[in-house]
Amino acid sequence: MPSTFYAKRDAIKLAKESEFLYPRDNRHVIVNNACIIWTDFGAQKVSPKYGKATKGTINLVVPQHAIKDITEMGFKTKRFEYTTLDGDDEFFDYVEIKFNVEDDKRNPDIVICQDFNGRKTKRQVKPNSSLDGYLLEKVCITFHPFDSDGSGRSMSAYLDDLEAKRLPIEDKYDPEFNEYELVDDMDDEAPFEE
């Protein structure tokens, strides 16, 4: 199942499969099979403070088994609460991870793998808004804390690198996409006409 998605109901299930690793230096967090949502790789959101977009963002869903470690490191977590179609109240916690898009020296390393015409390809890309439309799976990210207010109690998260596999466009909608027959027009033969 893809790690980038737009259905809230999948967040809790996908995040449970995430593996959080904390190297000895305690300065970085590595997340294998990360569940990321609400991406802004192209820094399209305008900062009210600066009047322009300066940072790109991704939001990492943090499973309950990792919340304690993440908050003890000082990261700010947010909670998204919603009601399911069945009327059940649900929630998930997440951390906003920022990254620079203007300075090439400080950009995160982003590597996208994909199958292209039967060949496995891997390419390094710069953060850009086209990545927001990709359907990604097997996402692995590394990020580090940054003391945003100087107190040592409120750490912002900054992305170091991201590696993921891009699914083909047809897998977004139907795994049997290529088996459908292309029809020029359906004027007289539409099966749903009465």
Q: For the segment 112-168, what is each residue's pLDDT rounded down to a tens digit? A: 888 777 778 888 888 887 888 788 888 999 999 888 667 666 688 999 999 998 877
Q: Are 79 and 93 in contact (CB under 8 A)?
A: yes
Range of the domain at 76: 9-179
Helix, strand, coil fractions of the chain, as percent rounded to 5: 15, 40, 45
In a domain, 4, yes or no: no
- SS (HEC) of 72-113: HCCECCEEEEEECCCCCEEEEEEEEEEEECCCHHHCCEEEEE
Residue 114 falls within a domain, yes or no? Answer: yes
Q: Please say if the pLDDT value at position 90 is more than 80.
A: yes
Please report whether residue 15 resides in a domain: yes
Does 188 fall in a domain? no
Residue with tokens 């995040």: 15
Cβ atoms of 39 and 55 within 8 Å: the answer is no
Stretch 73-101: mean pLDDT, rounded? 87
Give the C-alpha separation, 126 to 184, whole Å: 38
Of the candidate ranges 47-51, 97-101, 120-124, 162-166, the one whose mean pLDDT is the lowest = 47-51
- Position 186 pLDDT exceeds 50: no
Residue 23 is predicted with a pLDDT of 80
**Count of the separate structural domains present in the chain:** 1
Whole-prediction pTM: 0.75
For the segment 172-193, the average pLDDT, to the nearest whole number, is: 48
Output the pLDDT for position 135. 80
Confidence of residue 93 (pLDDT cuts 50, 70, 90): very high
**Least confident piece of the model among 6-10, 19-23, 84-88, 161-165:** 6-10
Distance CA 157, CA 159 (A): 7
Q: Which helix (H) or strand (E) holds 10?
A: helix 9-15
Q: Is residue 97 part of a domain?
A: yes
